[in-house]
Chains A and B, each alone.
Chain A
């Protein structure tokens, strides 16, 4: 059986990836990412953490296929990524739902594009709306949803299309602090049930530490991974420890301050 070998093979591989953007002045170029090498395992909650300008959004856009690298290549399950596809669903910070569709139709959208029969896609979409607690709003318009509910719909929409990976571009960045924590808890529950590989970017140290099983600290100019560790707080949360208990524990606070210092240090102009 090749099952053992498959398990060991990483889900996502970035090989010598560099990204150059045109700079402010003509002829000038900005190096957003330089010779980045990265391997991500299946089923992990990967969180890329960094200050603005560290290339974390660039990294997500590369994996999503929204951006072609200047050099290097990216592989998902050993297939080179050349464009966006339904194997990589994306949850955006905002503005990504379709206001001409109801909540249920938004959740069905991916399956509709792929030609899944109406009854089948609606049944599957309802399952996911239930998972994110929106089953009562199936026939609502999206502008009647709060910011947190809209992001829950964004997650349901991606999972309904059954991707190999879920990419999340600062999905809770526009939410208030209380909603944000509730959404983090919901995400962990959804992730533990769906077993999807998640690539999540944020500039919140707390969010990164609470969610990640694989935490990448990025530093700017050019963007590179300066630190990587494997926190286990999310597993404790999923085992029943409350998030408030976790967050007030000294090991959590120490880890948070240590990583915070790392981000600040990396963000210093050299």
Chain B
């Protein structure tokens, strides 16, 4: 084996779809989009009411982040309210959807009971049942967290259920032949084998949580990033709207990256066996 690979050209396999690095192309695309945004606003081709320029949004970010805040609450206050809603819903979903998904995946009776309600409500947009959660649970935190919880629950339960299928029959039989009980097989084999898909489900669920946030904060919220955006749009403060979108995007991106590193740490075997 040679230590220096600098001047050696590596052999390439023909016909593999989508091969090679795309980082440079992504950087160019991002720079192009930001420049186009800057250009159309700087040239006054679009009224700031419809699209404020990057500078105005940046400036507004610091104003709202500072002591001024928006609607009487600082940016951190809005973010804190939203983070609490999304992560408490996500946490509740983890402790309920994973065991329920395991039960549905491993048990005939649980599957018969669990499948119809989950498959029924899963494709319904959360906005459609938002009024019902308000009628049932009022306009407080409960209905907001419940709405996000419902959005997180289905993808997590279904991923867990699908993950159960990734256990090889040989692994289950091997465990029984090594003296495992049913519960040991469930925990030491089925749950572990399903873990990669459970984590994928958690990632998707967290994304859904952020997606549902604005809907959850539509009614009777006093703080929250979604509330901030909706409130700003009512007063046509478009730069706050755009700034809010960027803040939600940044937080969602960071939590997705955190989930990915969690995945790397917890399921290093993913895609290797």
Residues of A within 8 A of B120 (CB): none
Query: A157 interface residue, CB < 8 Å from B?
Result: yes
Query: A85 interface residue, CB < 8 Å from B?
Result: yes
Residues of B within 8 A of A163 (CB): 177
Q: A88-B177, A98-B188, A143-B272 are known contacts; what are 10 more A-B pairs with Cβ within 8 Å?
A: A86-B177, A90-B177, A92-B173, A95-B168, A110-B179, A113-B184, A114-B178, A143-B269, A143-B273, A158-B177
| A residues neighboring B (CB under 8 Å) | 64-66, 83-86, 88-90, 92-100, 109-110, 113-114, 141-143, 157-158, 161, 163, 167
The answer on a CB contact under 8 Å between A110 and B168 is no
Closest CB of chain A to B219's CB: distance in Å? 44
The answer on a CB contact under 8 Å between A94 and B178 is no
Residues of B within 8 A of A161 (CB): 178-179
Residues of A within 8 A of B189 (CB): 98
> Mind listing 27 A-B residue pairs with CB under 8 Å?
A64-B173, A66-B173, A84-B176, A85-B177, A89-B178, A90-B177, A92-B174, A95-B171, A96-B170, A96-B174, A97-B171, A98-B171, A98-B192, A99-B272, A100-B267, A109-B175, A110-B179, A113-B178, A113-B180, A113-B184, A113-B188, A114-B178, A142-B273, A143-B273, A158-B177, A161-B178, A161-B179
The answer on a CB contact under 8 Å between A96 and B168 is yes
**Complexed CA–CA distance, A113 and B192 (Å):** 15
User: In this complex, what residue of A is CB-closest to B188?
Assistant: A113
**Complexed CA–CA distance, A88 and B195 (Å):** 29
**Complexed CA–CA distance, A265 and B261 (Å):** 59
Query: B17 interface residue, CB < 8 Å from A?
Result: no
The answer on a CB contact under 8 Å between B178 and A110 is yes
Residues of B within 8 A of A85 (CB): 176-177, 179
Closest CB of chain B to A5's CB: distance in Å? 29
Query: B268 interface residue, CB < 8 Å from A?
Result: yes
**Complexed CA–CA distance, A64 and B192 (Å):** 24
Closest CB of chain B to A66's CB: distance in Å? 5
Tally of A-B Cβ pairs under 8 angstroms? 79
The answer on a CB contact under 8 Å between B179 and A114 is yes
**Complexed CA–CA distance, A88 and B174 (Å):** 10
Closest CB of chain B to A86's CB: distance in Å? 3
User: In this complex, what residue of B is CB-closest to A166?
Assistant: B177
The answer on a CB contact under 8 Å between B174 and A90 is yes
Closest CB of chain A to B47's CB: distance in Å? 57
Closest CB of chain A to B44's CB: distance in Å? 59
Residues of B within 8 A of A142 (CB): 269, 273
Closest CB of chain B to A185's CB: distance in Å? 24
Closest CB of chain A to B127's CB: distance in Å? 40
Q: A84-B176, A109-B178 are in contact. Are A96 and B188 (CB under 8 A)?
A: no
Q: A110-B179, A161-B178 are in contact. Are A99 and B273 (CB under 8 A)?
A: yes
The answer on a CB contact under 8 Å between B168 and A100 is no
Closest CB of chain B to A140's CB: distance in Å? 12
Q: A-facing mask of B207-222, CB < 8 A → 1, else 0?
A: 0000000000000000
The answer on a CB contact under 8 Å between B177 and A89 is yes
